[in-house]
Structure 1
Amino acid sequence: MVDGRVTTCNSNDTATLRGNDCGESELIYPKKYLNTLKYPGLPSHVLDLKVGVPTILLCNINVSAGLCNGTRMIITQLLSKSVEAETITGTRVGEKVFFPRMKLIHKEPSLPFLLKRQQFLLKVLYAMTSNKSQGQSLNKIGFYLRKTISPHGQLYVVLARATSPEGLKVLIKQQEDHGPNVTNNVVYTDFLSSILDFEPAPTGHISR
């Protein structure tokens, strides 16, 4: 839905047999097969980008410059061999950075070879988990609550990202033993009771 032309960026994938760097790996594992492999933290073989699209950085490139795993950016320019993006989170908000295609080596233990993928270390991102949202302040939040959040304090983590109640919208999928638009808020007393069989004292403190 973002205006503009889509630029498709394809990766260059190669395989190196473990303990053997001979050229036979190209015959055993063709590029078409390597292109289909997907692993967490590894950029996709096909990356469709547009100017104005939000992305996330997939690994640490330069921590001192604020280019860390999880840094969010907006694409501002697409060139033939590089991508320009503007940082929108972290310590360097507003700064623009050029990214060339970089090579990552994925050492999946179940694979008999090392996968080398040269690609822009970016992923298009329109949504994030509650953990990724920690430490951010957002004017508008749409929160999809598919099931009850069980870890202590996680619901607060999400709701506290909003700068105002007007900027917060929550979609709750109806859960068992709950009415519509209802979810549990796991607080400190509930957390201790469930884990350590504690009971809250009348004063609000925790007693065994």
Structure 2
Amino acid sequence: GTISEAYATGNVTGNNNTGGLAGRNNDTISGAYATGRVTGSDYDTGGLVGNNFGTISNAYFDTSTSGTTASIGKGNMSGGKGLTTVQWLTEGPMVSGSPYSFTDPGAWVSGSPYPILSALPHIVISSTGAQTYGQSVFSVSSLTFTDQNSKNASSLVETSNLKWYSPLLSSTSNAGTTGAMYGTGATAKGYQITYQATDTVSKAALAITALNQTGTYGQTP
């Protein structure tokens, strides 16, 4: 059968034909991605598909989380593209100007680090990050939780394990630089979750202290 406009996030363990999205593909996969860790005991192990006899297009996986750089373990090796988590932020298929795309971009809601399907119940968590030049620590504020109907969904989300990451900025990033952030750990029963957040570097305070000097008029202090 055909798999299109779909994704998988769970970890996968198998003996053979082990893939993050499908173990074995005999038909068509398009507009899909996988992010779970893939562990196989044989060579037919891939971040996207274990054994591919079909056609794959506009399909991706995360090389940072899957534990492999091979999109396909065995068979037809064409199709499928691996992106690191940082690449998902900077050039993922829903990022403006990206060289990659989905078969039907309208089926997706843009978010970090991964997009979600617009047709299914979902919650977008938005926030604002801030850090000072010279520091790697950042703070997060202005959290909002919006469902697919543009309504406040804060009461539905469990955030006790929510963590934020700002991999595009560092202590040496110039003041005024902005980079995409992403979160993990938030859950809401029956809902997909994605994150839309940016981190911005502000100027550091510069303290200038004059020397305490004395001198006689007409002489150099």
Question: TM-score surpassing 0.5?
Answer: no
> Which structure features the higher share of strand residues?
2
TM-score of the aligned structures, taking structure 1 as reference length: 0.24
The TM-score normalised by the length of structure 2 is: 0.23
* Structure with greater helix percent: 1
